[in-house]
Amino acid sequence: MPLPPDLSKPIFAMMPDLADRVMNNQCTFCAKAITAFADELSAKEYSVSGMCQLCQDDIFQPFDEDDAGEENAPW
């Protein structure tokens, strides 16, 4: 298991529920239990953001240039 995010970051002071999730081995986005990661880069991302593999896959999915219209933008 990779190192969890640094709980001294300001975001955890502003949003203590996220710190609770990290301490309970839960994803900071979906609150599901942290399990295995696909690769070393994903494990490193967990130590930054606290996101599980499924949330990382959803957030960092490739952007399709063919669907670049504003209505299809990921934000």
The C-alpha R_g of the chain, in whole angstroms, comes to 14
Burial of 24 (0-12, 13-18, 19+ CB in 10 A): exposed
**pTM of the predicted structure, to 2 decimals:** 0.76
Three-point CA angle 58, 25, 46, nearest 5°: 45
**Per-residue pLDDT tens listing for the chain (75 residues):** 788 888 898 988 999 999 999 999 999 999 999 999 999 999 999 999 999 999 999 999 877 666 555 565 555
pLDDT for 57 equals 95
